Structure 1
Amino acid sequence: MIKLFATDLDGTLLQQHTYVTNKDHIALTSISALGVDLTFASGRSDQEMTQLFKELGVNGHRVSQNGAFVVNKQGEVITESHLDQKVSPHLYDVIKKKGHHFFISTRDHIHYEEKTAFIENIQGIFKFPLKHSPTIANDLTNSTLASKFMILAEQTDLLELKTEIDRAFNGQIDCFLSATKCLDIVPVGINKAAGLNHLLQSLNIKANELAVIGDSYNDIEMLKMTPHSFVMSTADEVVKQAGAHVVDHVYEAVEYVKDMVNAS
């Protein structure tokens, strides 16, 4: 029996990074009514996930910042991780020199250093206000604990940057594409699967009682956790190979889960 349904957000549940379709909304509400716990597993912040649950009128667990923070539906923190405070300032220096747009996430905020037209335009896709932090470089050296760097650029530029960062910070961080034009840098060993494993242990749920759905490279480890895994049809072939089923919509995966629950 499926006891937990975990969905990625951007490219999966969220359309155009901003809204959930009516069919997917109804599906999530119906599966919750059957007693299946919902979980958002995404690179987005915990605050954004909390807001999205409120908009949908349901409650659920949150695996945020690609697994750096895991919070259950009662609001209790299961686990949290941060980048080494000695590493973050050096990461900042490398990224800053490239001239790409970037954000630095902490437990409570997504920080940006400079006010630009780009920041104004992109704020709309976030469900929580970005924080202008002009002193973030000094803050990283002192008290601010970063949990994620997010860099936005063309994929070729990001892959070049990834190679440089992997070489310079080998064994100190994990670095991966979370979307076509988005590179995430997180603490070593942090990914959605690791976050979900912490959540499963806290809920006493087995991996084969979990269903997941995603669409991107940062979902691959999560998709490999369970035989009940779904990949969006828009995903790259490598991502599709990690899942058991390919679907066009989240509600299709929910129907599969509902059939399993009703049959048990």
Structure 2
Amino acid sequence: MIRLFVSDLDNTLFNDEKTVSPENKEALRALVDEGVQVCLASGRMDKELVNVMNELNGTFHRISQNGAFIYNTSNQCLLSSHFDGDTARELFQMAEPYQLAGFISQEDSMFVPRKNEMVKQIEAQMRMPIEEHAEVLDCLGTSIHASKLCYIGDMDEIRKLERAVKERFPGKVDSFISDRHCIDFMPPGISKGAGLKKLIDHLGIKEEEVACIGDSYNDISMLRLTPHSFAMAVADDAVKQEATHVASSVAEAVRWVLAYNKQAVTK
């Protein structure tokens, strides 16, 4: 019996307009009606997950910023993680030669030192609230605690930056390709999979009682966690290979889960 359904947001639960389609809304309602708990798992900020939850009139578990923050349906914080100020500052500064748009996130805020045209376009396209803060680097480790550093731009430059970061911070920084032309740098040991494992241990359920769906490389750790994993049809082949199933939508995956549970009850 599947007791928990976990969904990524961008390019998974969200459509191209960064909204939830009526079909996917109805699918999540059907899960809840059948007693299946729902968790949103995303690289986005927790407040963005809360907005989605409220839009769907649901009460869901939440794994935000690739596992840096975890909340259960009672809004109890199960994990809160961030970089130390010096590491976050050096990470941001060493990316400057790579001509990428860089963002510094804490739990419910995303900062840039200056909003140039590239940043403004990304803000509009991704529908992410981004704050301009000229002194953000000076505030790291004091009034601002960076849980994630994100860079968007040319993939060749992203790969060069990733190699440089791994060389400079061996074992101290994890990285994930979280969307098209986007890389996230995280504190070590932080991932969606680790966050999901912490949540299911808290809930007292087994890995085989979980189903999850995602589309990108930052979803792989949670796809590997359960035998009931779905990669979106739009995902890269490398991501699909890590999942048990491929689905064209969250609604399709939900239909499979409901049928699986119905069969389990009749056995």
The amino acid across from 2:241 in the alignment is Q
Q: How does 1:113-128 map to 2 (within 5 A)?
A: 113-125=113-125
Q: Please, what is the CA RMSD of the aligned residues?
A: 1.4
Cross-structure match for 2:168: 168
Taking the aligned partners of 2:128 and 2:95, their CA distance within structure 1 comes to: 24
Moved more, 80-89 or 190-199: 80-89
Shift of 1:179: 1.8
Question: In terms of mean alpha carbon deviation, does 102-111 or 116-125 score higher?
Answer: 116-125
Measured in 2, the distance between the counterparts of 1:49 and 1:128 equals 12
1:17 Cα deviation after fit: 5.4
Letter in 2 for 1:191: S
Match of 1:226 in 2: 226
How many Å apart are 1:237 and its aligned residue?
Answer: 1.1
Deviates more, 1:70-79 or 1:90-99: 90-99
TM-score after normalising by structure 1:
0.95
Q: Describe the shift of the 1:139–1:97 C-alpha distance in structure 2 as closer, same or farther (beyond 3 A).
A: farther
Quote the Cα distance in structure 1 between the aligned partners of 2:141 and 2:29. 44
**Alpha-carbon deviation of 1:125?**
4.7
Q: How does 1:8-157 map to 2 (within 5 A)?
A: 8-16=8-16, 18-125=18-125, 129-140=129-140, 142-157=142-157
Asked if 1 retains the 8 angstrom alpha-carbon contact of 2:39 and 2:63, the reply is: yes
Mapped to 2, the partners of 1:126 and 1:11 lie a distance apart of 11
Contact residue 47 and residue 128 of structure 1 kept, 8 A: no
**What SS does the corresponding residue of 2:62 show, helix, strand or coil?**
strand
Range 104-113 or range 140-149, more displaced = 140-149
1:149-193 CA deviation, whole Å, 9 max, x = no partner?
000011111011101111011111101211220010000011000
Structure 1 residues 128 and 10, CA, compared in 2 at 3 Å: closer, same or farther?
Answer: closer
- Determine if contact 1:162/1:176 at 8 Å carries over to the other structure: no
- From the superposition, tell whether residues 64 and 206 of structure 1 become closer, same or farther in structure 2 (CA, over 3 Å): same
SS of the aligned residue for 1:242 comes to coil
2:249 counterpart of 1:238: no
Deviation of the 1:76 alpha carbon: 0.9
1:195-214 matched pairs, under 5 angstroms? 195-214=195-214
Q: Following the alignment from structure 1 to structure 2, what is the Cα–Cα distance between the partners of residues 114 and 11?
A: 28
Alignment length (residue pairs): 264
Gaps of 5+ in 1: none
Letter in 1 for 2:255: E
Say whether the 8 Å CA contact 2:84–2:141 is kept in structure 1. Answer: no
Structure 2 Cα separation of the partners of residues 128 and 161 of structure 1? 23
Q: Which amino acid aligns with 2:34?
A: L
Q: Which residue of 1 aligns with 2:159?
A: 159
Say whether the 8 Å CA contact 1:10–1:17 is kept in structure 2.
no
Cα deviation for residue 262 of structure 1 reads 2.3
CA distance in 1, matches of 2:158, 2:17: 20
SS of the aligned residue for 2:93 comes to helix
Q: Does structure 2 retain, via aligned residues, the 8 Å contact 1:48–1:127?
A: no
Could you state the TM-score of these two structures normalised by the residue count of structure 2?
A: 0.94
**Shift, 1:108, TM fit:** 2.3
> 2 CA distance for matches of 1:35 and 1:97?
51
Return the alpha-carbon distance in structure 1 between the equivalents of residues 102 and 245 of structure 2: 34
1:214-241 C-alpha deviation (Å, 9 max, x unpaired) = 1111111110111111111111111111
Inter-partner Cα distance in structure 2 for 1:108 and 1:10: 18
